[in-house]
Chains A and B, each alone.
Chain A
Amino acid sequence: MVVKMLKIFPLSFLKREDLKKQEMFPITVLKCPSCNSRNTRIFKENDFIFKETDKCPKCGGTMVIIGIYVEEKKEEEKSKEKF
């Protein structure tokens, strides 16, 4: 009877986890080879590292993507572990 009761009352309500999409939003870092100025913007589809794209706002030259990464959240940097 106890076994049957357990089957009737689901335990899943005890810990309902968020199943929404956990998207990550990378940024694109661009560098101008002519004047060495740097620029960052939100990642756009078809961006890739070493791609020549976007005009340099300072000298008008073509910028190169030198990095695409997800920025660290500040709270993640602190380690909670003792060891």
Chain B
Amino acid sequence: MFITIFNFFQEIGKNTDIIGIIVSLVWLIPWLIFLFYPMFGSKFQITFILREVEKKLEKLKMYRDEVRNRTLEAIKRIGKPKEDISKRLDDLLDFFIIQPESMDPYGIVWKLEHLIESGESKFENVVREMCPEAQEYQIKTLSNLVEVARGLNTIYRLVRHYYLLGKRTANYAIALQIQMILPQIMEIAEAYRKAAQAFEYGQPIGDGIGVLVAAEFAYRNGNGKNKMEIAKDTVVSEVDFEGRKVLVVRALGPGATVGRPGEAVKRIVEKEKDKIKLILTVDAAIKLEGEESGKMMEGIGVAIGGPGIDKYKIEEIAKTYGIPLHALVITESITDAITPLREKIYKAVDVVVERIKKLIIEEVPPGFTAILAGIGNSVGIG
């Protein structure tokens, strides 16, 4: 290459016309880039990466501010607070729950349950204080709206952290890490942004499909009798179906809550014991890319997401009494799950209810009992 550059200067010396010199200089540029690239290449790359992260960060900031303002407006409109609540809302957006220590995993489920319940109560109590004129179900929905705003705030803070860290240390690896997962982060952030609408107006969301299926099953079979709150924010009703008793468990709507289905099923099984021949859970499941939304799938196990407490409780009690666990899921994307219910997903209700009927007839002998647990968020479902 040095010979080539040497030849190049020889050529310049020979050339007397201006066009020849310009052409020779243009020809030299790729060689110079090739020569000096290792010296400034990484700087060049990190600048491009940080520029891309910065653009997305600006967008995240807009989403965060938009949802925060929307939450503030909703609290003012529904709760009619008597004082300025901006500061209290901002404090809530930074609220956190510290995960329990897992060095000794024994009993971690109960510790996690205690922490989550304490956190939820605290959150709801603060929202209740901010909304003196809101009804109880509206407080639950507004708490979820604040949760959405908090989620977006956390996403923004995390991305900003890695962006600034990458910029300050000029660390290519740090900048690259955040850049690589940014598409997924942005998808979640956009879903959160759209979710704010559903919680602001109390519209049913995709995640509520499990609750809707259970409620619809009860509604089509006499609306259920002896309806009672068996665990916090969780109701059970009794349905007579083809000589079998079906205990329908679901979160108490129309406020936004997922209830305590694990605790509810545990209490029912402890009471009914060997009479229970089937525990059937119905929930929304995140679809894989390429799959369609609103498709029903069937399997074995407990269809419950979240931190795992409810799933653990149902698995434990089912194992103790030897009860089969069946699961029905309705596929949807992460965006569908937290945004207003789509027609395609809603239409799956009929298909799932029919499958539940068949399953109960196949798996539960007449005179025995099945538990049908509709899992999900009950916002907009009474």
Interface residues of A (CB under 8 A from B): 2-3, 6-7, 10-12, 17, 19, 21-24, 26, 43, 45-51, 67-72, 79, 81, 83
Chain A: minimal CB distance from B51 (Å): 5
Bound-complex Cα distance A7 to B46 (A) = 12
**Across the two chains, which residue of chain B brings its CB closest to A7?**
B47
A45 touches B344 (CB 8 A): no
- Which stretch, B80-88, B197-205, B235-243, touches the partner chain A? B197-205
B197 touches A23 (CB 8 A): yes
Interface residues of B (CB under 8 A from A): 40, 43-44, 47-48, 51-52, 55, 58-59, 62, 66, 194, 197, 201-204, 212, 215, 219, 253-254, 290, 292, 339-346, 380-382
- Can you list 12 A-B pairs with a CB-CB distance of less than 8 A? A3-B43, A3-B44, A7-B47, A24-B194, A47-B202, A47-B380, A48-B380, A48-B381, A50-B381, A68-B340, A69-B345, A70-B341
Contact of B343 among A7, A48, A51, A72 (CB under 8 A): A72
A22 touches B55 (CB 8 A): no
Bound-complex Cα distance A58 to B345 (A) = 29
Chain B: minimal CB distance from A58 (Å): 21
Other A-B pairs beyond A3-B43, A67-B346, 10, CB < 8 Å: A11-B52, A19-B59, A22-B194, A26-B203, A26-B340, A47-B380, A48-B382, A49-B382, A50-B382, A69-B345
Chain B: minimal CB distance from A54 (Å): 15
Given A2-B44, A3-B40, A83-B290, verify A70-B340 contact (CB < 8 Å). yes
Which residues in A have their C-beta under 8 angstroms from that of B52?
11
**Across the two chains, which residue of chain A brings its CB closest to B342?**
A70
**Across the two chains, which residue of chain B brings its CB closest to A12?**
B55
**Across the two chains, which residue of chain B brings its CB closest to A64?**
B219
A6 touches B51 (CB 8 A): yes
Which residues in A have their C-beta under 8 angstroms from that of B345?
69
**Across the two chains, which residue of chain B brings its CB closest to A73?**
B343
Which residues in A have their C-beta under 8 angstroms from that of B48?
6
B254 touches A48 (CB 8 A): yes
Given A6-B51, A26-B341, A68-B341, verify A49-B380 contact (CB < 8 Å). yes
Bound-complex Cα distance A67 to B382 (A) = 11
Which residues in B have their C-beta under 8 angstroms from that of A51?
254, 382
Which residues in A have their C-beta under 8 angstroms from that of B344?
72
Among A24, A47, A70, A83: residue with most chain B CB under 10 A: A70
Which residues in B have their C-beta under 8 angstroms from that of A22?
194
Contact of B62 among A6, A19, A69 (CB under 8 A): A19
Contact of B197 among A24, A67, A72 (CB under 8 A): A24
**Across the two chains, which residue of chain B brings its CB closest to A71?**
B343
Chain B: minimal CB distance from A77 (Å): 8
Bound-complex Cα distance A19 to B345 (A) = 27
Chain A: minimal CB distance from B282 (Å): 16
Bound-complex Cα distance A26 to B205 (A) = 11
Bound-complex Cα distance A43 to B381 (A) = 14
Bound-complex Cα distance A79 to B293 (A) = 12
Bound-complex Cα distance A2 to B55 (A) = 20
Among B59, B194, B204, B212: residue with most chain A CB under 10 A: B204
Bound-complex Cα distance A22 to B382 (A) = 27
Which residues in B have their C-beta under 8 angstroms from that of A71?
343
B212 touches A49 (CB 8 A): yes
Bound-complex Cα distance A17 to B249 (A) = 44
A69 touches B341 (CB 8 A): yes
A68 touches B197 (CB 8 A): no
Bound-complex Cα distance A12 to B380 (A) = 39
